[in-house]
Structure 1
Amino acid sequence: MKPILKIGDNCWKISPVTTSGLLVDGRDYYRAFYHAARSAERYIAISGWQFDSNVALLRGADAQAAGEEASLLSFLNGLCEKKPELRVFILAWDFSFVYGFDREWFLHWYVHWMTHESLKFSFDRAAVYDGSHHQKFVVIDGKIAFVGGLDLCSSRWDERDHRVENPLRVNSDGSPYRSFHDLQSYHVGPVARELAGLFKARWKIANGEDPDLPAEPADGRTELTPTLPLGAQRVAISRTHHCAVCGGDKTFREIRQLFLDAIDAAEHLIYIENQYFSSEALYKGLLHRMANQKRSPLEIVLMIAKDAEGLLEQLSIGIAQNRIVRGLQQAARDNGHHLGIYYPASVAADGTELPTYIHSKCLLVDDRFLSVGSANMNNRSMGYDTELNVSWEAKRDDRELAHSIANVRVDLLAEHSGRSDDQARQALSRIEGLVEHLSQLANGKSSRLRHHPLESISEEYQWVTTVLPDGLPFDSERSEEAYEKMATKEDSFFSRGVMSLKSWLLNSD
């Protein structure tokens, strides 16, 4: 059982924590953020991929208990008005036009002109063309931090039962949205100051000035209600960071190396939840581990979204993902491993299936290692989008942490399968035969678990695979590779198009 975490190689720092754990799905995270923010005295620093000013942090019984729904911007503005010493900083990706229909175009101006002067909002332009800032983390007073896959925006809040009919699962305009699953971690202790330093560096590069984030944490205690506590004393921080983001001359791909090291270290189990699985590096890492006949067979569970989120994702990531997961299936069969690929869904009274969209980014190995964060298992997240993950690793004698990591896996599988009674959890806790057990659940009608169809693109776009068998080149580890792939081959689809255009222009003369 070789160690996985290595500072300077696959993680930036390993920092002490007094409390740490997971908040599962939007309701638990939004509620925890609300209560932590209310206790803030000095600062709230928020970094994200997307924000929506009117997203309700509290709904239903939570809103009744608090006496408010607490829409994001008005809630933060109210805190600034009540607490003269409080400063709020919001750092958002300056999004691509591709996502323009889903964003608030004038949010920056609105915050500047219509809110308290202590509430600061800034767009952060990506360091490389076609890159995005994808880190989702919050630091409050240097004493508490949240890190994971959830943004404070529309279409994210959901409850853990993911029922078909949920009147609370609506956006501010009353429009319903699909069932949504994600993970956010929480941390109390010195690690929050390390993350504050990361935010401070990002803010300075984006704005040319240091935000006012006091180095010493504020006094007082913040009580959180965790979904899944982790008995940890330390947590590791790993990044994908382009050199321009860091303000230096080195690009960090710690998350990529972390995932490869964790896969290689696996002896019995690899459990993955992710929005995508299209990373060529991770694919090769899994193939390499499975091909080693001298090591024990693995139980490999891959929980991914049934469908790619949009047309661009379907025609780029979706096509590559289909090829990769089929390759994994063949490798598992050839080398005696057990691989199961699933998605969860609920069923309406009329029999209509409602898949739960998997947006979480989780890697768990042998019930002793767990990593959660913003990094998708695609090429962009491994290469040049900014990403942030936190990880826990149980040493051989750390039974408390190992037990809590195992409980995370069982609890998540209980949610996805819809089986949470003691007998079901006992069956889910066993590693040996896990894939066979999950597949039996997926074969039946009484479970939420489904076998993944391994087709992430709609039928009307299947023709694209004949022209571009690897999909549109928008998911590479380096931004320039996308355009190199289109242009370097004389007989490539892109090159033929350029030559045709050139010929047409010459003939038109």
Structure 2
Amino acid sequence: MSQFADGEGRLEPATASLIDRPGLCWKTARAGRFAVLMDNEAYFEALASSLAKAQKSIVVLGWQFDPRTRLDPETRPDDYQAQIGHQLRMLVKTRPELDVRLLIWNSPLLIAASQGFYPHRAQGWFRKRMVEFRLDQPGPLGACHHQKVIVIDDAVAFTGGGDVATDRWDNPDHLDDDPRRCMPSGLIAPPRHETMCVMDGDAARALGDLARERWFRATWERTLPDHVETDPWPDGVEPDLYDVPMGVSRTEPRWAGRREVREIEALHLESIRSAKKLIYFENQYFTSPRIAAALAERLEEPDGPEVVLISTGKSPSWFDQWTMDTTRSEVLFRLEQADRHNRFFAFSPMTVGGQRLIVHAKVTVIDDQVLRIGSANLNNRSMGFDTECDVAVEPGTEDGERTIRRLRQTSIAHFIGAPTEAYRMAEEVTGSVGQAIQTFSEGRMNPLGADPPSRLEAFIAEWQLGDPSSTADAWRPWKRRSPTQRPLQSADGSTSKSRISGR
């Protein structure tokens, strides 16, 4: 451990970096190059470039996979040759030594139906076994494989919140009714914000190890790391960071003798405790009572950090509206109550035409010193019930801090529809991320508040229905009961108030 001298010349241990603290990361490694890919226009273009350079192996882990997906949205929706399933088969046909493996969640009937019964129907694309396609069940009933990782030649790896599917392409303009978002059905997919990242070096090999372990658990087949002389780094992608330390954190449920892994939750909680100035989230869901309790504690401090959340205003599916949105409302109410110093801000972004923008990214920034990108939502199941993978980079340099700040400000600016420099200046003047966002009045960022619930919604939030935190309470919601602290009006008009307790 490194040391430094205090004011009297005594040597004291230096504070360990966040990703080096025990129990927070599965592996730490250095990325020779690391780049953030904001929205799937950038991701799909980079992925297409790297796939074309693959020499020995391509491994895909996904929650969803649709072989009809066009990585180039400028091609026609019915252009068979532009579809990724066809492209993967052609790669193997022209390079017989190339090993292509896809391991996708075996989604239940109701979810598969909403996806046109993909990825199940994708098996028919690869019957000749030129491409190894497997559906994978995580084990516990109701759990899902939610990791999104693609590793190419063990030299370059992509990870984040995005799947390869026909409704996932969008770019930072998030245009209303953009014809490039046309799906095979002829419908235009709704605007969607995603964030992925790409890395090489030992960090890519670490994600390759994760993929190999997943493959072994699903198939009992062991695969070996690859070594290539070529460089599959995507053309046109300029690295944001060089030679940066990175940590890989996971969530895995307890099942079949395997222990529970909650590294992602542990890293979130430690990040919240360690933050000095800013905790910034972009996330699809926001329902975890443990994370809410940690944030509430920091908001009550007189000199604690500012907390900023950007999330979808209303979930696309009715099930998520009843479960995730309802419980989020209770979490927001709790944080509003704890926010005694006006440091909590929550927003939902809209398009220019007033359409809901789906925030599917899973991004966390701590003090502009730590950047996390991954698959985990800020809900119970991502902390202990589903499989998840997040990566965190912590440069530890002033240049690295400036880079993370630039990436964060660029993302915020694209939400509000303003140049990055204009938003940066507003942040500099106000000294606050939340207040800087509020200075832009174009109506692109709506305050995300805690709407009063009906009795049924309060019941769902109290019992956290649809959001198990582990295999221990998956079918025992009484074990994860979280009494609301919102005043509930009784039939006679009186109100009562009970307190949420952080678990």
TM-score, normalising length: structure 1: 0.85
Q: What is the percent sequence identity of the aligned residues?
A: 26
**CA shift for structure 1 position 262:** 0.7
Question: 1:248-263 residue pairs with structure 2 within 5 A?
Answer: 249-263=258-272
> 1:183 aligned to 185, 192, 195, which one?
195
Say whether 1:146 aligns with 2:151. Answer: no
Q: 2:425, 2:80 → 1: CA distance?
A: 40
Residue of structure 2 equivalent to 1:284: 293
> 1:321 aligned to 328, 332, 335, which one?
328
Flag the 1:456–1:142 CA change in 2: closer, same or farther, 3 A: farther
Q: For 2:445, give the aligned amino acid.
A: L
Residue of structure 1 equivalent to 2:447: 451
Greater mean deviation of Cα atoms: 411-420 or 432-441: 432-441
Say whether 1:340 aligns with 2:345. Answer: yes
Say whether 1:354 aligns with 2:349. Answer: no
Say whether 1:111 aligns with 2:131. Answer: no
**CA shift for structure 1 position 164:** 1.1
Contact 1:473 1:482 in 2 (8 A): no
Residue of structure 2 equivalent to 1:504: none
Residue of structure 2 equivalent to 1:122: 134
Question: 1:483-494 residue pairs with structure 2 within 5 A?
Answer: 483-486=475-478
Question: 1:369-384 residue pairs with structure 2 within 5 A?
Answer: 369-384=370-385
Flag the 1:429–1:43 CA change in 2: closer, same or farther, 3 A: farther
Structure 1 vs Structure 2 CA RMSD = 2.5
SS at match of 1:33: helix
Say whether 1:406 aligns with 2:422. Answer: no
Contact 2:463 2:477 in 1 (8 A): no
Residue of structure 2 equivalent to 1:439: 438
Contact 1:298 1:337 in 2 (8 A): no
SS at match of 1:330: helix
Bigger fraction of residues in helix: 1
1:49-90 alpha-carbon deviations (Å, 9 max, x no partner)? 001110111122xx59xx997211111111111111111101
SS at match of 1:145: strand
SS at match of 2:36: strand
Q: 1:488, 1:323 → 2: CA distance?
A: 15
Q: 1:320, 1:32 → 2: CA distance?
A: 36
**CA shift for structure 1 position 463:** 5.0
Flag the 1:436–1:471 CA change in 2: closer, same or farther, 3 A: same
Where do 5+ consecutive residues of structure 1 fail to align? 490-509
**CA shift for structure 1 position 207:** 1.3
> 1:164 aligned to 170, 173, 176, which one?
176
Q: 1:391, 1:271 → 2: CA distance?
A: 14
**CA shift for structure 1 position 242:** 2.6
SS at match of 2:368: coil
**CA shift for structure 1 position 327:** 0.9
Flag the 1:248–1:403 CA change in 2: closer, same or farther, 3 A: farther
**CA shift for structure 1 position 2:** 6.8
**CA shift for structure 1 position 422:** 2.9
Residue of structure 1 equivalent to 2:65: 51
Say whether 1:135 aligns with 2:136. Answer: no
1:304-326 alpha-carbon deviations (Å, 9 max, x no partner)? 11012322222222221100111
SS at match of 1:18: strand
**CA shift for structure 1 position 209:** 1.4
1:229-286 alpha-carbon deviations (Å, 9 max, x no partner)? 2345221101012354xx8632211000101111111111111100010001100111
Say whether 1:419 aligns with 2:418. Answer: yes
SS at match of 2:19: coil
Q: For 2:95, give the aligned amino acid.
A: K
Q: 2:88, 2:322 → 1: CA distance?
A: 39
Q: 2:126, 2:169 → 1: CA distance?
A: 26
